[in-house]
Amino acid sequence: MNTLCSLDKLKEQVKNCNKCLLCEGRTKTVFSDGCEKAPIFFIGEAPGKNEDETGLPFVGRAGKLLRSFLDECGYKKEDFYIANTVKCRPPENRKPKPEEKEACRYYLDEQIKFVNPKIIVLVGSTALASFCDDKKLTISKARGKLFKKDGYNFFPVFHPSYLLRYHSMEENSPRYLFKKDLLEILGMIK
């Protein structure tokens, strides 16, 4: 089966999806960005206003910050693929509800299968909660630690929206740790 063709079919299914109420408020579905054969798969929380308008993940303020860190760390476009736990913007940029994430889970699982990455980066607490069995585990405790599940390697990192509140690059600051994590992830695929 041709991956690109399969991802295109899946993207069409997402465009026509009405499995949850998020479809009622969307401008565009937000399927993915990046290389379909990437060794690193970033999973974020949900589309925001900018993503809903463009149909691309991580293009707002937090996304621009993420992409600037990726550039600074030496990531190339072919190194990564980006998607979210849900494909439609929740109202007022709230976190997606469990039933909304569940409605979109098939699409995300299929994307993971098609891309078949070496590492799945869970960007923030919502993505972490979607794949971690320990529901009490916080992103602060989980970030920077590789864990395996269902044959995949997962690596949680802070969400860049959290980093928008912190500007210091001092050792052990959130931005310092984020950059350290991104460099470690990149080192795992080289």
Where along the chain do its domains lie?
3-189
Q: pLDDT of 44-92, one tens digit each?
A: 999 999 999 999 999 999 999 999 999 999 999 999 999 999 999 999 9
Considering the entire predicted model, what is its pTM? 0.95
Percent of the chain exceeding pLDDT 70 equals 97
Q: Tell me, what DSSP letter sits at residue 94?
A: P
Q: What is the overall mean pLDDT for the chain?
A: 95
Does the 3-189 domain belong in CATH 3.40.470.10?
yes
Instruction: Please determine, for residue 3, whether its predicted confidence score (pLDDT) is greater than 60.
Output: no
CB 63 within 8 A of CB 52: no
Q: Looking at residue 6, what is its pLDDT?
A: 86
Q: Looking at residue 1, what is its pLDDT?
A: 45
From residue 137, give the alpha-carbon distance in Å to each of 87, 95, 131, 142, 148. Answer: 25, 17, 11, 7, 15
How would residue 133 be classed by pLDDT, with cut points 50, 70 and 90? Answer: confident
**3-state DSSP call for residue 129?**
helix
How would residue 4 be classed by pLDDT, with cut points 50, 70 and 90? Answer: low
49/103 Cα distance (integer angstroms): 21
Instruction: Please determine, for residue 2, whether its predicted confidence score (pLDDT) is greater than 90.
Output: no
| Terminal C-alpha separation, the chain | 27
Q: Which of 48-57, 108-117, 130-139 has the lowest mean pLDDT?
A: 130-139
How would residue 135 be classed by pLDDT, with cut points 50, 70 and 90? Answer: confident
Average pLDDT over every residue of 161-166: 96
